[in-house]
Homo-oligomer: A and B are copies of this chain.
Amino acid sequence: MNNSITLRDIARALNLSTSTISKALNDSYEIGEETKKKVIAYATEHHYVPNRMAKGLKQGKSRSIGVVVCSLDNNFVAQMLDGIDKVSTDKSYQIIIMQSKESQKQEIACIDLLYSGGIDGLLISPACETTDFSYLKNLQESGLPMVLFDRLTDQIDTHKVGADNFKGAYDATMHLINNGYKRIAHLNTNTKLSISTDRLNGYKQALSDQMISFNPTYLRSCDYTDSHKLNEDLEEAIQYYMSLPEPPDAIFTATDQITTRCLSLLNKLGYHIPKDLALIGFTNTELADAMNPSLSTIHQPAFEIGQLAAEKLISLIEQKHKEVDFETIKLETQILVRASTQTVPTSN
Is residue A285 within 8 Å, beta carbon to beta carbon, of the partner chain?
yes
Residue of A96, A143, A260, A287 ringed by the most chain B CB atoms within 10 A: A287
Instruction: State whether A115 and B4 are in contact (beta carbons under 8 Å apart), knowing that A96-B96, A291-B291 are contacts in the complex.
Output: yes
Is residue A94 within 8 Å, beta carbon to beta carbon, of the partner chain?
yes
Is residue A293 within 8 Å, beta carbon to beta carbon, of the partner chain?
yes
Q: Is the CB of B96 within 8 A of A94?
A: yes
Is residue A247 within 8 Å, beta carbon to beta carbon, of the partner chain?
no
Taking CB atoms, residues of chain B closer than 8 Å to A32 are: none
Shortest Cβ distance from residue A255 to the other chain B in the assembled complex, whole angstroms: 14
Shortest Cβ distance from residue A202 to the other chain B in the assembled complex, whole angstroms: 25
Query: How many interface residues does A have (CB within 8 Å)?
Result: 59
Taking CB atoms, residues of chain B closer than 8 Å to A4 are: 115, 142
Interface residues of A in 282-329 (CB under 8 A from B): 285-287, 289-294
Q: Is the CB of B72 within 8 A of A82?
A: yes
Copies of this protein in the complex? 2
Q: Is the CB of B72 within 8 A of A118?
A: no
Task: Render A208-243 as a binary contact track against B, CB cut-off 8 A, 1 for contact.
Answer: 000000000000000000000000000000000000
A75 to B62, CA, bound (A): 30
A193 to B3, CA, bound (A): 29
A104 to B95, CA, bound (A): 20
Q: Is the CB of A115 within 8 A of B291?
A: no
Q: Is the CB of A118 within 8 A of B289?
A: no
For A78, give its contact among B1, B73, B117 (CB under 8 Å).
Answer: B73
A289 to B112, CA, bound (A): 40
Q: Is the CB of B82 within 8 A of A78?
A: no
A122 to B191, CA, bound (A): 37
Shortest Cβ distance from residue A133 to the other chain B in the assembled complex, whole angstroms: 16
For A260, give its contact among B60, B73, B287 (CB under 8 Å).
Answer: B287
A277 to B47, CA, bound (A): 53
Taking CB atoms, residues of chain B closer than 8 Å to A47 are: 138, 142
Is residue A116 within 8 Å, beta carbon to beta carbon, of the partner chain?
yes
Q: Which residues of A contact B (CB under 8 A)?
A: 1-4, 47, 49-54, 56-57, 60-62, 64, 71-75, 78-79, 81-82, 85, 94-99, 112-113, 115-120, 138, 142-144, 260, 263-264, 267-268, 285-287, 289-294
18 A–B contacts, CB within 8 A, in A order: A1-B61, A1-B118, A1-B119, A3-B142, A3-B143, A4-B142, A51-B116, A52-B116, A53-B56, A54-B57, A71-B82, A73-B81, A73-B82, A74-B78, A82-B99, A95-B97, A97-B97, A260-B290
